[in-house]
Amino acid sequence: MGILETVRERKLFFDGGMGSLLVAKGLKPGELPETWNVTRPEVLQDIHLQYLRAGSDEITTNTFGANGLKFGGDGEFSLKRIVTAAVENAKIARERFAKERRALADGLPADVTGTAARAADRPVSGAAGTEPCAYIGLDLGPTGKLLKPLGDLAFEDAYELYKEVVIYGAEAGADFVLVETMSDGYEVKAAILAAKENCGLPVCATMIFDKKGKLLTGGDVASTVALLEGLGVSMLGVNCGLGPVQMKEILKEILSAASVPVIVNPNAGLPRTENGKTVYDIDADEFARVMEEIADMGANALGGCCGTTPEHIAKMTALCRGKKQVLPEEKDRTVISSYAQAVEIGRLPVLIGERINPTGKSKFKQALRDHNIEYILREGVTQQDHGAHVLDVNVGLPEIDEPSMMEEVVRELQSVIDLPLQIDTSNIKAMERALRIYNGKALINSVNGKEESMRAVFPLVKKYGGVVVALTLDESGIPETADGRIGIAKKIYRTAAEYGIAKKDILIDALCLTISSDSKGALTTLETLRRVRDELHGKTVLGVSNISFGLPQREIINASFFTMALQNGLNAAIINPNSEAMMRAYYSFKALADLDPQCGEYISVYSGTAGTSSGTGKAEPSAGIAAGGKSTAGSPASAASGEMSLARCILRGLKEQAQAAARELLSQRDSLAIINEEMIPALDQVGKGFEKGTVFLPQLLMSAEAAKAAFEVIREHMSGKGESRQKKGKIVLATVKGDIHDIGKNIVKVLLENYDYEVIDLGKDVPPETVAAAAAKHHAPLVGLSALMTTTVPAMEETIALLRKETPWVKVMVGGAVLTEDYAKTIGADRYCKDAMASVNYAEETMQKPADRKQPHVSAG
C-alpha cells in the first residue's frame, strides 16, 4: 500500500527535526549537514530509526539543502552521492526497524531492548515483510536563492536544480517527493514541476506561512492551495516558521480551501536563545497535546519540524494514533490565483479586463512591435485601478513571435501587477510557455468543443493547473439554440473529466452573437447561462461586448445586456473596466442583488461624484511643487494661457496639467518651439536646481514625468501631421552582472529619455558579453553601467575591458553607490557620474555638438 492509500485509511505520522539532532552529534556551524550522509551515515541511520521507533510512518531524507549550487562536481560530495546516500541511509534504517518488528512479532527477543515494544503497536499493512513499514520522503528544500525578478535565480534554473535531485532520489528508491519549507510560490512551482516531469512518485508540498497566514513573497492560504492543487500535489500543508499553537489558525484556513489531505509539521514552538542555545516556548508534552487538537481539527498527516525530536513525535503519536481519519471534502470552488492573491469565481461576479489585446488598436499593435512593455503595463494598471479582478492577456499579431511575446508580457505583468491573468491565445505553444512561467493558477482562454482543441488544451490545464474558458462551439460551429450549446458544454465537461479536470475548473462561455444579425442572439445566450447554472451546476463566462457588434453607441446595449447576463447567472465577464457604463451596471447589479452589504461598495464608489466619474480610479498624487521655487513664475514660461504654463507644470511636476497645457499650446504654436522654448528650459532649470542641491531627487523625477507626459501629447500631434522628432542618439544602459539593484540605472534612463536619447535598457545582472553585443549591434556611442556593491565592481571592470576590445569607439560612463572618481578611473571608465544629472550632462557633452542644442532634428515622415 502506498502512502496515498495509507493516508486515506488513517492518520499518517511524519518524522521530526533533523538539524538540531545533528548539531547535538557534533555538526559544526557552517558545516553542510548533507555531507554527513556520506561521512557519518550511522548517525543519519540512527536518527531515522529513532523516528520510526517513535511512531513515524514517514522518514524524510537528509537532502534539505542538497542541490547543485552547494554540491557540484564528481568528488566525495557530488550531488548524486549525497542524494543516493541519503536515501540509502533511510532504507537501511527502515530495514533495521522492520527486522525489530518481525523479531517482536515472531516472539523472539528484540535486538534492541525495550524500544521495539512500540513497533509492535504499529498497524501492519499487508503481509509482514512484503510491505514497507515506512515511507521514504525525498526532501526538496528551498534553493537558498530568491527567484527572478527579485533575486538572481531564473525559474528555469531552479527547475534544473530540483530536477537533478529528483532523478537521483527516485533512482535510489524514495517513495515520494516532499517539497517543504517553501516560502515562495514560484519556487515551489519549479520544484513540483521538476518532480512531476522527472519521476512517477507522488508529490507533496508544505509551505511556511507567517502568523498572518502569508507567504514570504506575499501569497496567502487560498492562493497557495489553488496553486498547489492546480499543479497536482497529492497532499499539501504547512511546516516550519511557527509552533503548533500558531498553526491552528492557518490549518483552519487550509482545511476550508483544500481538497487533498493536509499535512501539519510545526516547529517545536516559538524559538528564543538562552545562553547561546535555541530553546522553545513549549515542551514535548505540550507539543503533543496541541498536535492532538490539530489532529482533531482535521489534519491528516502530522509531524514536526525545527526543534522537534523523537520524543516529541513519540508523545504525539501516542496521543493521536487511532484517531479517526477524516479527509477534506472535495471543494466545489472555482479559484484562480496570482503570486499574491486568489480570486474565486462564484457568488460574486468577477470582472476580467479585456484591454490587453491588440485587436482593432493600432497603438497597442505598435507597442507590441516595439516591445513597448511599459505601454502594456499601463493598460493593465489602469484596468486594475478601475476595478478589474483579472486581466486578459492577448498579444496575438500575425507578424510577431507570439510564444515569446506572450512569455515576455506575462513575466512583466506578473512582476508589477498582483491580479491573476487570463492567458488568451489560440496558439498552443504560446499557451504552454505562458502557463509554465506563470506565477500562480491562471485562467486560460480558451478551449472549445472540437476534439482537436480539447486534445491540445486539456493536457496543459491538467499539468500546470488553471481554470479554462470553454467555448460552446464545436466542429459544426456555434449552435443557434441553447440546447445545442448546453450539449456542447456537457461534452466538454465529459472530456475534461477523462483528463482528470474537474467541472469546477471549467468556465462555460455561453457565447453571444450580435443582435444586429440575429435578433434572438441575446435570448439564446441568456438561456444558456441560466441552464448552465441550474441544470449543469456549472460556472459561466462571457465576452459581453460582442452582443452589440455593428450597432451605434454600443455601450448602451452592452451595459444593459451585462445586467441581464448577471441576473441570469453570469459568473465572470470579459469587459472593458474603463467603461463607465459597464462599471455602473456592475456596481448597481451587486447592490440590487444583495451582493453588496448595506450597499457599502456602491456608496463608497458613487457618493460624492456627480455621476460623471466612477470614482474607482485613484487620484494622482497632488504632485510636485516648486522646483526652483519662486524664480519660476516669470521665467521660461511665457506663452501661458489657461491655468498654468507648461514650463511651470514641468517645474512643479504636475503630469496631467502638463498634458493639458501642451495640448493648449499646440493650438497656438509649433511643436518644436514648445519643446525648445518651454520644455527644455524648464528641464534644464530643474536639473540645475538638482545639481545645486535646491531640488531633490523625487522632484527631479516628478518634473521628468510631467515632461514625459507632455512629450507624449506633442509626439502624437506630430505623428498626426506626419512629422517625427529624431532622437539624439542611442545609449546602452545596464546594471552589471551579479548586481540586481538597478534603481539608479532606471533613474538615469528616465532622465536620458527626457533629453531625447534612445535608451537601450538591458536590465540588471547583465553579462559583459550582452553589453558588448548590444553596443555593437546598435553602434551606440555611449554605454552607461551601474554597480551597487564592491563585490560587483569587478564585473563592471570586466565589462569595460570587453567593450574596449569589441567596441573601441564607445564611451563608458559609470555610477553606483561604491564608486568614486578614482575608482572609476582605475577600472577604465571614461567618466564617473555621481548622479543622474551628471549622466545627462556627459551624454550631452559626448553626443551632441553645442550648436545642435537648440535645434533638435526634425524629419518629415
Partner 1 sequence: MDIDYRETLRYLGYKNQAADEAVLALVGQCWDELERISSPRSFWREYPLTAAGDEIDACVFKTKSLALARNLKGCQRILLFAASLGAGADLLIQRYEKLQMSKAVVMQAAAAAYLEDYCDSVNEELRRRYEDEGWYLRPRFSPGYGDFPLECQPAVVAALEAGKRVGITLTDSLLMVPSKSVTAVIGVGRTPLACEVKGCEACGKTDCEFRR
Site string for partner 1, 236-275 (x = CB under 8 A): ----xx-----------------------------x-x-x
From 621, 634, 722, 850, residue interacting with partner 1 (rule: CB under 8 A): 621
Mark the segment that binds partner 1 (CB under 8 A) among 36-44, 371-379, 502-510, 774-782.
Answer: 371-379
Q: Is 851 helix (H, G, I), strand (E, B) or coil?
A: helix
Strand 723-725 vs strand 858-860: parallel, antiparallel, or unpaired?
A: antiparallel
487 binds partner 1 (CB under 8 A): no
**Which residue's CB is nearer to partner 1, number 132 or number 653?**
653
Mark the segment that binds partner 1 (CB under 8 A) among 214-222, 320-328, 402-410, 714-722.
Answer: 214-222
From 26, 126, 129, 144, residue interacting with partner 1 (rule: CB under 8 A): 144
224 binds partner 1 (CB under 8 A): no
**Which residue's CB is nearer to partner 1, number 211 or number 854?**
211
Q: Where are the beta strands (DSSP E) in 557-669?
A: 572-575
Q: How far is CA 131 from CA 56, 86, 300, 639, in A?
A: 16, 21, 21, 90
Is residue 405 within 8 Å of residue 385, measured between CB atoms?
Answer: no
Q: How far is the CB of 114 from partner 1 (least distance, A)?
A: 35
Residues 6+ apart with CB under 8 A from 79: 66, 67, 68, 71, 72, 164, 165, 168
- Residues 656-685 binding partner 1 (CB under 8 A) are none
Mark the segment that binds partner 1 (CB under 8 A) among 356-364, 585-593, 620-628, 796-804.
Answer: 620-628
Angle at 597 between CA 594 and CA 599, to 5 degrees: 90
**Which residue's CB is nearer to partner 1, number 354 or number 705?**
705
From 10, 25, 145, 717, residue interacting with partner 1 (rule: CB under 8 A): 145
Q: How far is the CB of 694 from partner 1 (least distance, A)?
A: 8
Cα distance between the two ends of the chain: 75
From 2, 41, 151, 396, residue interacting with partner 1 (rule: CB under 8 A): 151
Strand 730-735 vs strand 723-725: parallel, antiparallel, or unpaired?
A: unpaired
From 639, 741, 758, 770, residue interacting with partner 1 (rule: CB under 8 A): 741
Is residue 432 within 8 Å of residue 460, measured between CB atoms?
Answer: yes
Angle at 203 between CA 461 and CA 121, to 5 degrees: 145
Q: Say how many residues touch partner 1, by CB under 8 A.
A: 70
Q: How far is the CB of 153 from partner 1 (least distance, A)?
A: 9
746 binds partner 1 (CB under 8 A): yes
Which of 416, 420, 448 has its CA nearest to residue 434? 420
From 150, 497, 551, 633, residue interacting with partner 1 (rule: CB under 8 A): 150
Mark the segment that binds partner 1 (CB under 8 A) among 150-158, 289-297, 539-547, 797-805.
Answer: 150-158
624 binds partner 1 (CB under 8 A): yes
Which of 289, 297, 280, 299 has its CA nearest to residue 237? 299
DSSP string covering 343-361: EEESSS-EEEEEEE--TT-
**Which residue's CB is nearer to partner 1, number 8 or number 618?**
618
Buried b / exposed e along 716-747 (16+ C-beta atoms within 10 A): ebbeeeeeebeebbbbbbbbbbbbbbbebbbb
Which residue bears the cell 500575425?
Answer: 398
Dihedral, 660, 661, 664, 670 alpha carbons, nearest 10: -130
Q: How far is the CB of 701 from partner 1 (least distance, A)?
A: 4
Mark the segment that binds partner 1 (CB under 8 A) among 346-354, 357-365, 526-534, 702-710.
Answer: 702-710
Mark the segment that binds partner 1 (CB under 8 A) among 44-52, 376-384, 574-582, 664-672.
Answer: 376-384
- What does the alpha-carbon distance between residue 4 and residue 274 come to, in Å, rounded to a whole number? 41
750 binds partner 1 (CB under 8 A): yes
Single-letter code of the amino acid located at 93: A
Please compute, for residue 366, the number of CA atoms within 13 A of its CA located in the half-sphere on the CB side.
3
From 78, 217, 256, 372, residue interacting with partner 1 (rule: CB under 8 A): 217
Which of 44, 46, 60, 69 has its CA nearest to residue 138? 60
- What does the alpha-carbon distance between residue 660 and residue 664 come to, in Å, rounded to a whole number? 6
Supply the DSSP symbol for 35. Answer: G
Which of 470, 483, 495, 558 has its CA nearest to residue 528? 483
476 binds partner 1 (CB under 8 A): no
Which residue bears the cell 572618481?
Answer: 821
From 366, 537, 670, 696, residue interacting with partner 1 (rule: CB under 8 A): 696
How many Å is the maximal CA-CA distance in the chain?
Answer: 106
From 214, 503, 539, 725, residue interacting with partner 1 (rule: CB under 8 A): 214
**Which residue's CB is nearer to partner 1, number 470 or number 706?**
706
- Residues 306-365 binding partner 1 (CB under 8 A) are 306
Chain centroid to CA 754: how far? 31
From 75, 114, 200, 276, residue interacting with partner 1 (rule: CB under 8 A): 276
Is residue 178 within 8 Å of residue 199, measured between CB atoms?
Answer: no
**Which residue's CB is nearer to partner 1, number 247 or number 460?**
247
From 679, 788, 796, 810, residue interacting with partner 1 (rule: CB under 8 A): 788
Mark the segment that binds partner 1 (CB under 8 A) among 93-101, 107-115, 370-378, 482-490.
Answer: 370-378
- Residues 163-202 binding partner 1 (CB under 8 A) are 181, 183-184
Q: Helix/strand/coil (H, E, C) string of 621-646?
A: CCCCCCCCHHHHCCCCCCCCCCCCCH
Which of 190, 86, 201 has its CA nearest to residue 78? 86
Mark the segment that binds partner 1 (CB under 8 A) among 41-49, 247-255, 443-451, 691-699.
Answer: 691-699
**Which residue's CB is nearer to partner 1, number 115 or number 217?**
217
739 binds partner 1 (CB under 8 A): yes
Q: How far is the CB of 546 from partner 1 (least distance, A)?
A: 31
- What does the alpha-carbon distance between residue 796 and residue 559 come to, in Å, rounded to a whole number? 57
Query: What is the binding site for partner 1 (CB under 8 A)?
Result: 19, 29-30, 142, 144-146, 149-152, 181, 183-184, 208, 210, 212, 214, 216-218, 240-241, 271, 273, 275-276, 278, 306, 374, 377-378, 381, 412, 415-418, 621-626, 652-653, 694, 696-699, 701-702, 704-705, 738-743, 746-747, 750, 788-792, 795
